[in-house]
Amino acid sequence: MSCLQTIQDYGLRSIGIGERLLPRNDFTLCEHFTLIGSGMIWNIYFGIMALATGFFLATALAMGKASTNKWLRKPSEWFIFLFRGSPLFIQFFFAYFLFLSLKQSFPFFDALTSAWLGALIVLFFNTAAYSGEIFYGALRSIPKGDIEAADAYGMTGWSRFRRIIWPTMLRLAWPAYTNEAIFLFHATTLVFFSAFPVWQQRGDALYYAGYFADKTFNPFIPYPILAFYFILLTLVVIWGFGMINKRLNRHLPAAKRSKMKLRLNLAR
Amino acid sequence: MHWAFYLSFFKVLLLLAITAPVALGFGFLGAMAARSHFLPLSLLGKGYIAIVRGVPDIAFFMFFVIALDQAFEWTRHKVLCPEWTDPVRQGNDFIVCQAAKLPLGSAPEWVHETYGFFLAVITFSIVFGAFAANVLFGGMRAVPHAQLETAEAYGMTRRQTFWRILVPQMWVYALPGLSNLWMVLIKATPLLFLLGIEDIVYWARELGSYKNPKFTQYPHGDWRMWYFLGLLVFYLGMTRVSEIGLERLMRRLSRGQATSGGELLRKETTA
């Protein structure tokens, strides 16, 4: 079987398109690359969806935590503590069994026990909490002069937030947020290794890598391939976030524009 | 019996107690290697730091547990059975001679468990060692350069400068990163479950489930949700306690340091 044929059969296997049976023996390098790459679809899906939705909740949480109103501040603080203070792995387990019992009482929640929605919700809350803390830190380090200038121009409420506070907050938080995004993508590999079941062997990249390692009892091929894909993904994320960073800083004179110095810090 | 469940909490604490210092040691070696003026060594150190951070840590856990096991067995195989001529990898199998099996097939159950735990500890240490190396490398670079120049001016050798000037001062710069790392390490402990250890996650699943016939003397429905809620609370407690402890440690270490934290402490006492 040629490699092209393999890609046709297994390229979209993780979302259920193509050959149904996974290869069983005599695994070729091409099958390794194709199936693990196919699994990356899930990692990218979880990562992008969680980031896109989590971003807004994170902004809200940061504003809430910085608020002077107790009724806004306390819930935000607790939410952030709850999701940052406990392991994502346990959150997945707890959420899954919570959804399971919800489903038994109300069939309406059926979709929650499948990974595409249930795990996404957990990742959404999780990344919102971590980014919320990052944004909160940035919010507190907005230069006082910026806000005073906005006040002097008579800006209040929404327009002050939209034009001054929010862009500055993003600008300050961006390097740390990039870091968070990278580790969120890494965290997506946990989904199918916690409670969420893999339906019809449609798993993520680590699931397929684990499948190969189990079958061949040789970890030295599938895991480096997985590593290769993830390093590629990390580079793409750094590039994409770098572009946004450029746009966020476009008003600054070129000399003052801070080149994004990204030091991958494990801050999860 | 629920004893196994309670005992597994000690397993987690034991893992933390062993891994933290060992990982710190690995990190120190890694940071020293990355700082080295000998190019291959410095590349090795930097590569160690970079690779572990570019790839999901779970992938490393899964990888190292098998890889380490095979590495040990292979080494023993070479030493113990030199007359064996067949290749070790035959198709999809990894075959070593009986005497090289780890643990030996005849070994009692607890040896198997201890061996598994031992592999897990090494795996955790390698992965977290890379994170620690990154933090310590940053801490070493943050020590004001003038300090090192002064040491050189006094005629200290490179080795003396490193041990007497750099190492004592780097901790306060490295501590925020290290305390973050401690938090991450705590939150990584449930991954023991993935390494095949019967840890708290394993027992929470077993005991909470209603299907398990072993525990029919306490019949109940599906309580897994509540067991995991318990674990969630346990970890939140661990985090909170660590936060308070680390905060205190930071205050201790900042005293008299020329950092903004030290300055804040000075103002507090004089005001």
Q: Is the pLDDT of residue A128 over 90?
A: yes
User: Per-residue pLDDT for B214 more than 60?
Assistant: no
Is residue A153 domain-resident? yes
Residue A201 predicted with pLDDT over 90: no
Nearest chain B Cα distance for residue A170, angstroms: 23
Q: What is the ipTM of this complex?
A: 0.83
Q: Give the residue on B whose Cα is nearest the Cα of A102.
A: B225
Query: Quick one: A183 exposed, middle or buried, by C-beta within 10 A (0-12, 13-18, 19+)?
Result: buried
User: Cα distance from B72 to chain A (closest Cα, Å)?
Assistant: 14
Task: Report the pLDDT value the prediction gives residue A262, as an integer from 0 to 100.
Answer: 55
Which of A73-77, A102-106, B73-77, B86-90 is most confident?
Answer: A73-77
| B191 Cβ contact list (under 8 Å, min separation 6) | A89, B57, B58, B61
Inter-chain CB proximity B187 and A88 less than 8 Å = yes
pLDDT confidence of residue A244? 92
Contacts of A106 (CB under 8 A, 6+ apart): none
Strand, helix or coil for residue B90 = strand
Evaluated on CA atoms A30, A32, A35, A38, the torsion sign reads negative
Reported as a single tens digit per residue, the pLDDT across A151-177 is 999 988 889 999 989 999 999 899 889
> Is A156 inside a domain boundary?
yes
- Give residue A71's identity as a one-letter amino acid code: W
Q: What is the mean pLDDT of chain A?
A: 86
Q: Are A94 and B67 inside 8 Å of each other by CB?
A: no
**Closest Cα of chain B to A157: distance in Å?**
33
Nearest to B58 among A82, A97, A190 (CB): A190
Asked which of A35-44, A124-133, A214-223, B229-238 is least confident by mean pLDDT, the reply is: A214-223
Mean pLDDT of the region A33-56:
92
Cβ–Cβ under 8 Å, residues A31 and A42: no
Number of domains making up chain B: 1
Lowest mean pLDDT among A63-77, A249-263, B46-60, B226-240: A249-263
Instruction: Mean pLDDT check: name the lowest of A32-36, A203-207, B227-231, B266-270.
Output: B266-270
Q: Has residue A23 been placed in a domain? A: no
Cβ-proximal residues to A166 (8 Å cutoff; 6+ apart), any chain? A59
Domain of residue B52 covers 3-198
State yes or no: pLDDT of A56 exceeds 90.
yes
In a domain, B150, yes or no: yes
Q: For residue range B149-175, what is the model confidence (pLDDT) as tens digits?
A: 999 899 998 888 888 888 888 888 888
More confident residue, A263 or B89: B89
Does the residue B253 lie in any domain?
Answer: no
Residue A28 resides in a domain? no
CB A132 within 8 A of CB A169: no
CA distance A146 to chain B (A): 23
Is B114 part of any domain? yes
pLDDT in the model for residue B104? 67
CATH number at B192 reads 1.10.3720.10
**Domain span including residue A236:** 39-248
Number of structural domains (chain A) is 1
Tens-digit pLDDT profile for residues B190-206: 888 877 777 788 877 77
List the one residue out of B74, B72, B48 whose CA is nearest residue B60. Answer: B48
Chain A contact for B204 (CB, 8 A cutoff): yes
* CA atoms of A135 and A142, how far apart (whole Å): 11
Question: d(Cα A210, Cα B169) in Å, to the nearest integer?
Answer: 43
Q: How far, in Å, CA of B169 to CA of B167, rounded?
A: 5
Given an 8 Å threshold on Cβ–Cβ distance, is B62 in contact with A210?
Answer: yes
Provide mean pLDDT across the span B77-100. 71
Residue B215 lies in a domain: no
Closest in A91, A190, A231 to B54, CB measured: A231
Highest-scoring range by mean pLDDT, A38-42, A216-220, B66-70, B187-191: A38-42
Tokens of B120: 């897990």
